[in-house]
Chain A
Amino acid sequence: EPEVTQTPSHQVTQMGQEVILRCVPISNHLYFYWYRQILGQKVEFLVSFYNNEISEKSEIFDDQFSVERPDGSNFTLKIRSTKLEDSAMYFCASSEARFRSGEKLFFGSGTQLSVL
Chain B
Amino acid sequence: TQLLEQSPQFLSIQEGENLTVYCNSSSVFSSLQWYRQEPGEGPVLLVTVVTGGEVKKLKRLTFQFGDARKDSSLHITAAQPGDTGLYLCAGAKQAGTALIFGKGTTLSVSS
Contact = CB atoms under 8 A, between A and B. Distances in A.
Interface of A: 4, 33, 35, 41-45, 48, 56, 58, 91, 93, 98-110
Interface in B76-111: 88, 90, 92, 95-104
**Which 9 A/B pairs are nearest by Cβ-Cβ distance?**
A107-B42, A100-B95, A43-B101, A45-B98, A101-B31, A42-B103, A101-B50, A42-B101, A91-B42
A98 B101 CA distance: 18
Nearest to A59: B1
B96 A99 contact: yes
Interface residues of B, number: 24
Contacts of A103: 48
21 contacts: A33-B98, A35-B101, A42-B101, A42-B102, A42-B103, A44-B101, A45-B98, A45-B101, A58-B98, A99-B96, A100-B31, A100-B95, A100-B96, A101-B50, A102-B31, A102-B48, A105-B33, A106-B45, A109-B40, A110-B41, A110-B42
Interface of B: 30-31, 33, 40-45, 48, 50, 88, 90, 92, 95-104
Contact of A48 (B45, B98, B101): B98
A101 B69 CA distance: 13
Contacts of B100: 45
Main secondary structure of the interface of A (DSSP, over half): loop
A4 B88 CA distance: 19
B101 A56 contact: no
B107 to A, nearest CB: 16
Contacts of B42: 4, 91, 93, 107-110
